[in-house]
C-alpha cells in the first residue's frame, strides 16, 4: 500500500493505492471526504510494488509525497470504564477500533494504532493528518453508530497537555 498527500492552498488531497486479488485499487480525494475509487486489472506476472510505483509516478512529479510520520497528529478516543471494565467494554473497544479504521482509511485521514483498557478508561489511539477534520468525522460516525455517548476525543502530543476536541465544553482534565 502506498499513501500520498498534497497540500493545495487550504485543501489536503490524498491518494492511496494497493494491489489485491489481481487488481490495482486507487482511492483518492480530499482528506475528510470519501473520495473516489478506481480498479484496474493487474497481470499475474507484474510485481505489485512496481504497478503501484508506476501509478504514483505522475502524482509524485506533481508534488504528492508520503506523509511525514512526525507531522501526523496523535488523537485519542476515550471512554470511561467502571473499574477495569467488562467483556462488553472490551467488545465495544474493538468495535470502535474497527469503525475508526474504516472511516479514517476511507476518508484519507489516517489510521488506528490500537487500543488499551486501564482502570477507569479505555483508549483508541489514532494518527491523523488533520485533527479538526478527524474529530468532526469521528463524532459523526460514532453518533451514527450510537457510540458517541461518553466519548472524549483529544489531541495527545508527547510532552504537551492534551487538547480535548470533543465534547467542546469538556471541563477536563484528560488523562491517557
Q: Is residue 138 over pLDDT 90?
A: yes
Q: Please state the pTM of the whole predicted model.
A: 0.92
- pLDDT attached to residue 70: 87
**Average pLDDT over every residue of 26-35:** 96
The mean pLDDT of 9-33, rounded to a whole number, is 97
pLDDT of residue 121: 96
| Residue 75 pLDDT level (bands cut at 50, 70, 90) | very high
Half-sphere exposure of 150 (CA within 13 A, CB side): 15
Q: For residue 155, what pLDDT is reported? A: 97
State yes or no: pLDDT of 20 exceeds 90: yes
Sheet holding 110-118, edge to edge: 110-118, 121-128, 73-80, 152-155, 163-166
Amino acid at each position: 500500500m502506498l499513501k500520498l498527500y498534497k497540500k493545495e492552498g487550504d485543501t489536503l488531497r490524498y491518494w492511496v493505492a494497493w494491489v489485491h486479488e489481481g487488481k490495482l485499487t486507487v482511492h483518492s480525494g480530499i482528506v475528510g471526504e470519501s473520495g473516489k475509487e478506481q480498479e484496474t486489472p493487474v497481470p499475474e506476472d507484474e510485481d505489485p510494488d512496481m504497478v503501484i510505483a508506476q501509478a504514483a509516478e505522475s502524482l509524485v512529479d506533481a508534488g504528492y509525497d508520503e506523509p511525514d510520520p512526525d507531522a501526523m497528529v496523535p488523537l485519542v478516543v476515550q471512554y470511561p470504564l467502571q473499574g477495569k471494565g467488562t467483556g462488553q467494554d472490551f467488545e465495544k473497544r474493538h468495535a470502535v477500533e474497527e469503525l475508526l479504521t474504516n472511516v479514517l482509511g476511507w476518508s484519507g485521514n489516517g489510521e488506528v494504532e490500537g487500543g488499551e483498557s486501564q482502570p477507569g478508561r479505555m483508549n483508541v489511539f489514532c494518527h491523523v493528518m488533520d485533527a479538526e477534520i478527524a474529530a468532526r468525522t469521528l463524532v459523526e460516525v460514532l453518533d451514527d453508530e450510537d457510540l458517541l455517548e461518553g466519548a472524549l476525543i483529544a489531541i495527545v502530543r508527547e510532552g504537551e497537555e492534551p487538547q480535548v476536541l470533543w465534547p467542546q465544553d469538556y471541563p477536563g482534565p484528560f488523562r491517557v
